[in-house]
Amino acid sequence: MSDFMLPDIGEGIVECEVVEWRVSEGDEIAEDQPVVEVMTDKALVEITAPEAGRVTRLYVAKGNIAKVHAPLFAYEAHGEEGESTEALDPPRPDADEDDEVASPAAEARPIAAVPARDFILPDIGEGIVECEVVEWRVAEGEAIEEDQPLVDVMTDKALVEITAPEAGTVSKLYVPKGDIAKVHAPLFAYVPAHVEEGEDIVAAEASGAEPGLPQTSGHKESIVPVASGGRGPYGRIPASPAVRRLVREHGLSLESIDGSGKDGRVLKEDVLRYLENGQRGYGQVEQGEARPARAGTPPARCEVPRQGAAPSKQEEGEVRVEPIRGVRAVMARRMVESASTIPHFHYGEEIDVTELLALRERLKPVAEAQQVRLTLMPLFMKALALAVREEPILNARLNAEVTEIHYLPSVNVGMAVDSRTGLIVPNVKQVERRSVLEVAREIQRLTADAREGRVAQEDLKGGTISISNIGAFGGTYAAPIINAPELAIVAIGKSQWLPRFDERGAVVKRAIMTVTWAGDHRVIDGGTIARFCNAWKGYLESPETMLLHLG
């Protein structure tokens, strides 16, 4: 029995409503038969059967919400029931019982007799529905041990290491390096080393290959399938959801592509071949002259010039295209969302950190004796946690309906880190309860993890207020964007030695640092953020006063 996972319908859609089931449990279905209609926030979409079989279960009732990459219905493909090892490995009629020479199929029989299992990419949390495969640590056919690292995947937030659920042998890698893996979809298949008593023999896959063995390509190297044309038995052009999505992404129509599969089914290879032919046929002409591309075809690629020909100016200035994925992709989405949905109020101030720098110099040897590097950041965070006591709304959150303010019990200060995977904001938990040395140790750990791209998911969750240290790059002023759902963020500029007047009117040399706050103007007004900043400034300009408030 197989579960049909609701495919990615595109355009960021993560759920849809089941409008009408065209079948019932127990019904026979044919390949490409319409099974259910679902309504997204864009349109009505028809889901078809991936192959012939019998419906065994409908997971989502009519009128309920179905989730992308979650089971929609279960079915039994024709040929699943009653299959045995004989179906996988038929005996040779000419083989003698005492024949000592084993055929390759006979040698593979013990592997085929063990059910291959799909490893489903688990829900990594935070609403993440997909991730990029960064590096496979194993190859098909390799033996693996329980908890052995198998693959690194990049989510919207960090690099995550996926380990083996049990010992066995990798039989198939479903998602190549650099491609996108979907949550709740198979990531790889493996044959377990140990099988529980009573477990059934796995049936051969639809391709005819045995589970647990390396898969071969389903089409020959030098033969291109001949398109059959026409429509399927249900009056529509047969194509899988993945192929339909590929067609949509390239702005094509199924009607314009010749399908080489059964009943004119459009395969992925047909779409790729169409794109290749369209680019060569309509985007380039000889001698570098371009003519208008046909509607629906992608823009032309610059081709490699013939040997001895001088490269054209267009080829010299070819545009390099890099997909936005992982952390950069989520940063782009969240920054747009935050800037367009939260009314930002900015407030700037200068802080004299002369005494703070002197205090740090006195404490540095103490911290270094405990293998801790003491920067100004833990002092900024500790002062921030103390200032929250006076203006707790800066450490609060709004509910989704913007009808309630939720005051949070802990001050979890996030710090923007320019990691090798992009901008991330890990946070130090419960700063109000930690010593300055403990905060410094946490900052040191998070910074090291960020540089390696291996920040744990827990370190990225639960932030309540953020600091962006642009001064580390030499910046003086910035207008930061709030890290939603937080209500405030501060950008810290570099410290500069500048002339200032002392209480006697004499010009003195002081270390001046500029800061710029951004607050959610729906609940934070100018007076509130000014009072908060003044309290924070007071602790930083007279750091010894923090001792009076440390618990």
Check which CATH number belongs to the domain holding 541 and give it: 3.30.559.10
Check whether residue 412 and residue 518 sit in a common domain.
yes
Check whether residue 472 and residue 544 sit in a common domain.
yes
Check whether residue 188 and residue 262 sit in a common domain.
no
Check whether residue 229 and residue 179 sit in a common domain.
no
> Could you say which of 241, 263, 283 is where a domain stops?
283
531 lies in some domain: yes
So what's the pLDDT on residue 551?
64
In tens, the pLDDT along 55-97 reads 999 999 998 898 888 889 999 987 654 444 333 344 443 434 4
> Could you say which of 283, 298, 324 is where a domain stops?
283
Single-letter code of the amino acid located at 155: T
What total number of domains does the chain contain? 4
So what's the pLDDT on residue 374?
95
Check whether residue 3 and residue 137 sit in a common domain.
no
The single residue listed with the structure tokens 């004499």 is 506
Check whether residue 186 and residue 261 sit in a common domain.
no
| The two structure tokens encoding residue 494 | 């570099």
> Could you say which of 242, 259, 283 is where a domain stops?
283
So what's the pLDDT on residue 112?
42
Check whether residue 247 and residue 199 sit in a common domain.
no
How many percent of the chain have pLDDT more than 70?
73
So what's the pLDDT on residue 428?
97
So what's the pLDDT on residue 240?
66
Cα–Cα dist 51/275, whole Å: 27
In tens, the pLDDT along 115-174 reads 788 998 876 655 677 888 888 999 999 999 987 889 988 776 667 778 888 889 999 999
Task: Tell which residue, 415, 429, 420, has the closest CA to residue 159.
Answer: 420
40 lies in some domain: yes
Range of the domain at 41: 1-81
Check whether residue 61 and residue 174 sit in a common domain.
no
295 lies in some domain: no
How many C-beta neighbours within 10 Å does residue 224 have?
A: 11
Cα–Cα dist 237/337, whole Å: 38
Cα–Cα dist 172/139, whole Å: 8
So what's the pLDDT on residue 344?
96
The ranges of the chain with pLDDT < 50 are 81-112, 196-229, 279-310, 312, 314
Half-sphere exposure of residue 177: CA atoms within 13 angstroms, side-chain side:
9
Check whether residue 183 and residue 267 sit in a common domain.
no
| CA dist 478 → 158, 218, 426 (Å) | 25, 56, 20
108 lies in some domain: no
91 lies in some domain: no
Helix (H, G, I), strand (E, B) or coil at 237: coil
Q: Helix, strand, coil shares of the chain as percentages rounded to 5?
A: 25, 25, 50
Annotated active-site residue 525? The verdict is: yes
Local structure of residue 64 (DSSP, 8 states): S
95 lies in some domain: no
How big is the CA angle at 363 (ends 359 and 367), to the nearest 5 degrees? 150
306 lies in some domain: no
Task: Tell which residue, 123, 124, 126, 129, has the closest CA to residue 8.
Answer: 129
If you write DSSP's letter for every residue of 121-166 in order, what string do you get? PP--STT--EEEEEEESS-TT-EE-TT-EEEEEE-SSSEEEEE-SS
Check whether residue 279 and residue 204 sit in a common domain.
no
Check whether residue 392 and residue 484 sit in a common domain.
yes
Run of H or E residues at 534: helix 526-541
Task: Tell which residue, 551, 467, 549, 474, has the closest CA to residue 515.
Answer: 467
State the chain's mean pLDDT as an integer.
78
So what's the pLDDT on residue 347?
97
What are the start-end ranges of the H helices in 369-485? Answer: 377-388, 436-452, 457-460
* CATH number for the domain harbouring residue 243: 4.10.320.10
* CATH number for the domain harbouring residue 71: 2.40.50.100
Check whether residue 139 and residue 259 sit in a common domain.
no
Radius of gyration of the chain (CA): 31
Return the bridge partners of 34, or none: 48
Local structure of residue 89 (DSSP, 8 states): S
What are the start-end ranges of the H helices in 134-267? Answer: 241-249
- Annotated catalytic residue: which of 41, 418, 525, 549? 525
- Annotated catalytic residue: which of 78, 184, 250, 521? 521
124 lies in some domain: yes
Annotated active-site residue 346? The verdict is: no
Indicate if the alpha-carbon torsion angle 533, 535, 538, 544 is positive or negative.
negative
Helix (H, G, I), strand (E, B) or coil at 236: coil
